[in-house]
Amino acid sequence: MNAACHHEDGAHHGLHGQALRLALTAAETRCAASQERLTLPRRRVLELLLEAHGPLKAYDLIAAFGSGGEPAKPPTVYRALDFLERQGFAHRIESLNAYVPCRLDGRGHSAAFLICDCCGAAEEFEPDLGAGIAAAAARGYAVSAVTLEARGLCPVCQVG
């Protein structure tokens, strides 16, 4: 969130209550199905990402980790983030050094975001990578992951 931004927060609403519980249960289920374990720190980090209204920095997660005020140690959170990314539950937004929960029911898709430079909203979308993949193939590259980040102004922030 840009400090100078005077607009309403255009970012995704955080989940809470029943919706949050449902999302976490769904994650549990998906982990069980793939022989992975959604352990306590992993679940906690995912919960924090789902509750948030926008991208969170690693050190925001570290600070918020404990149910009381106690922070986590950095490796705890970074390991959880690695896991969540591997499983497709979360994405790292490289140009922000920040993390979001996957809004597209994850696993194995490419990450693409529209990021508002004013209010900090980061909207995930399903990119059409046809042309990019073709360019890679033409050069003989075997592509395993693609990230696309478009910066600009969201509809709300264009107005003011």
Among 23, 31, 98, 154, binds a copy of itself (CB under 8 A): 154
Q: Which of 122, 123, 125, 116 is nearest to 160 (CA)?
A: 116
Among 10, 54, 55, 101, binds Zn ion (CB under 5 A): 10
Instruction: Assess contact for 124 and 91: CB atoms under 8 A.
Output: yes
Instruction: Assess contact for 121 and 11: CB atoms under 8 A.
Output: yes
Q: Decide if residue 39 touches DNA (CB under 7 A).
A: yes
Q: Decide if residue 50 touches Zn ion (CB under 5 A).
A: no
Q: Decide if residue 8 touches a copy of itself (CB under 8 A).
A: no
* Placement of tokens 């979001």 in the chain: 100
Among 4-12, 73-81, 111-119, 149-157, which window interacts with DNA (CB under 7 A)? 73-81
| Residues with Cβ within 8 Å of residue 143, at least 6 apart in sequence | 133, 136
* Placement of tokens 């929960």 in the chain: 101
Alpha carbons 112 and 87: distance in angstroms, whole number: 17
For the CB of residue 73, give the shortest distance to DNA in the complex, in Å. Answer: 4
For the CB of residue 64, give the shortest distance to DNA in the complex, in Å. Answer: 13
Q: Which is nearer to a copy of itself, 59 or 141 (CB)?
A: 141
CB atoms within 10 A of CB 34: 9
Among 81, 102, 115, 122, binds Zn ion (CB under 5 A): 102
- Residue 9 is classified by DSSP as P
Instruction: Assess contact for 92 and 101: CB atoms under 8 A.
Output: no
For the CB of residue 55, give the shortest distance to DNA in the complex, in Å. Answer: 10
Binding site for a copy of itself (CB under 8 A): 94-95, 112, 114, 116-117, 123, 125-133, 135-136, 139-155, 158
Q: Which residues bind DNA (CB under 7 A)?
A: 36-37, 39-42, 57-59, 73-76, 78-80, 83, 97
